[in-house]
Structure 1
Amino acid sequence: MSFYTSLKTPFALLTHIIAYVVFILSIVQICKHKDMYGQRVDNYVPAIVAILVMSTLQTLYHVGYWLCAKRTSYSIAKVLIALAFFACFNFGAVVALTVQRHDFCNQPLPEGHYVTGAAYTFMDCQGTIRGMMGMTWALFGMDLFYIIYLGVLTRYADNGAATPVGLVGEVNKVAEDEEKAPVH
């Protein structure tokens, strides 16, 4: 059981790293979008903004988790609820981004597209949007995996829902009646 308990930190760290990478990619995509279409703020893609909000919230949540994982504010029940919220939010945003990418990138290119702005937007579909879409799907998968992992770990470690996540699976040694050597 201690091996499975020791995987808790690497899984949380991997989820945090993926959320941070998605955060950075969404900022890069918004900057590229601003360069392509000018300074108009009303032109941002809602899916990318939703992913930016989701990844920001999840990154900040994981920073709080790292700072105080052994406190009761990060109990198993609260962490599972937060991860379920992030997974649902993430799923909606990444489906919207996937639909937007396929609608946007599958448009036919006009003649002489190497001169027009359509070539620039088509080339962008091969890069940042694809990378952000892949990393966001990976974040959704890690959220689901971490939810299942915490549920299974809690079940087999005999911890309650109020146990802080940092203390799940820790073995408390109880003094048992050990067989003593005979006294002469």
Structure 2
Amino acid sequence: MATPGPSKIPETLTVRGLYKYHGLGRKKLEKYHSPGSLRRYAEAELQKLQSVFDEEIAKIKSSDIPLAQEITFSNIDELVEEVMGRLETEKQTLTHLRGVIMSCSRTIFQIAEDLLEEIGYVTASQQEEEDDEEEKEEGDVKDEEMDEDEEGKEEDEDEDEDEYEDEDDIILVD
């Protein structure tokens, strides 16, 4: 009796996981043998990628990071419109359409890298702000501790002076 293999759970596509995406790669595109089917496939894949980008941007904007609200980055919408227009108007040979789609996929990967860089910058700046706040709080606590220590030292010095005054009163006789 054969043992069942591991269940195949489809991975959700994210901008960070885009390097695993091969939907617009040469091998996938070679499976389509008519310009119409290739255009329909490319349109579906581009819309899927567009939704991935939109989800990522919405997720970072919904965080409590103030700088994240300023991310207005997503050239993906413009790119999808441009590519769909090019697929309709340019030379309708499979080789040419595949080339257009593959160059578009390279641009998508560049946009993904830029978006991740911007997200990294925003989250890093938030982390720096949090670290600065923590350091300031720690500094305030240390200042209070140092003030208390200095007060304690002054009291100790006063006690030491009192001890020395008592020693002056003692007269040694031979």
TM-score class, shorter: 0.3 to 0.5
TM-score, normalized by length of structure 2? 0.36
TM-score, normalized by length of structure 1? 0.35
Q: Which protein is bigger by CA-based radius of gyration? A: 2
